[in-house]
Homo-oligomer: A and B are copies of this chain.
Amino acid sequence: MADSLNPKNINELSEEQIINLFAESRHRDHGIGIGDDCSVTDGPNGVKQLVSTDLVIEQVHFRREDISPRALGSKALAVNLSDIAAMGGIPKGFYLSLALPKDLSAHWLTRFRDGLLVLAQRHNISLLGGDTTRSQNDIVISITITGTVKPKHLKLRSMAEPGDVLCVTGSLGDSAAGFKVLSHPDRYSYLSDANRKQLVEHHQEPKPEVAKGKWLAQMEAVHAMIDLSDGLIRDSRHIASQSRCGVDITLDRLPLSAPFKAFHRAQIEQAQDFAAAGGEDYKLLLAIAADDLEEIQKKFKQKFNTPLHQIGTMKKGEPQLRTLRDGAPIKLEEQQFKHFKGS
């Protein structure tokens, strides 16, 4: 195999470049959904099987002193459940690999297990296998999750159409704000305890929207779904590029929570920009046929007692993203999540 790169250091490569390095072994005949939230292959009894995998590493994704083992166990599984939710799937089982440093207490491990298994039980999934080993310094958690979905309910990133309305299932930015609060507690002493707690909780214990994903998947008018893990801007770009459409994001319409507004001291434009960059929201982003929007919003509200927020539209043309405020395009600062070194 020829090198497709000039000699470079890893930290000069984007995650996409690294993924593309391995792309030649991705044969489409073995399944669809590659590059989506889950891979899609044939499952039992005519259903499709979904698989997703996530790596969570100390010092990169969390600091041991910032997060309780219980919350960490919950979050490690939640981010995988969110991938199943984004495909409209039903989670089935998971595989857990752990590398643990010697200085870790058994108490820490039991609390980690408790957080993980409580969430597993809530979603009725079982641990099917895994691997344990020691590590030199850092905790490593690798979870692979499986699920199923009926073929007709499958919602890929590539299925959005020009004219579709882009919606999100909940408020944005809370997790990214919670991360900032954890990283620099002194800077945000103006926040009330309740607001601080809610932001940090969004970051540390995201609630995967499995029930919403499953319900939305049954709607024919819902064309495409993705979970918001990289942030609205990046995840919207994923839909746009895979659906070969443009996308407009209406910043004024982004749903923002009260604690998030308090975090930004009510500077709304700044809050909107930060929410658009975000990251780790674990809400669902979906493209819906415009004609059916109102009805689906109404039923969604009845079913989940929370609104489905319209935040943008898919456009004909190049897969480019525009952000609009007061009806006019504005340019946001380039996001921090672009490079591997910053992830």
The chain A residues found within 8 Å of chain B, CB to CB, are 1, 3-13, 15, 18-19, 21-22, 24-27, 30-31, 34, 38-39, 41-45, 49, 51-55, 57-61, 92-93, 95-107, 109-110, 113-114, 117, 120-121, 125-138, 140, 142, 144, 146, 340-341, 343
Closest to A9 in B: B105
Residues of chain B within 8 A of A142, CB atoms compared = 53, 55, 97, 140, 142
Which chain B residues lie closer than 8 Å to A117 at the CB level? 1, 22, 24-25
A1-B114, A102-B10 in contact; A144/B55 too (CB < 8 A)?
no
Q: Which residue of B lies closest to A12 (CB)?
A: B106
Given A5-B106, A25-B126, 10 other A-B residues pairs in contact with their CB atoms under 8 A: A9-B103, A19-B130, A25-B120, A41-B146, A42-B45, A44-B44, A44-B49, A55-B97, A57-B140, A133-B340
**Residue pair B57, A99 in contact (C-beta under 8 Å):** yes
Whether B10 and A109, one on each chain, are in contact in the complex, defined by CB atoms closer than 8 angstroms, is yes
Q: How far is the CA of A178 from the CA of B313 in the complex (A)?
A: 60
Interface contact A18-B109, CB-CB below 8 Å: yes
Q: How far is the CA of A61 from the CA of B132 in the complex (A)?
A: 12
**From A6, A13, A106, A133, residue with most partner B Cβ within 10 Å:** A106
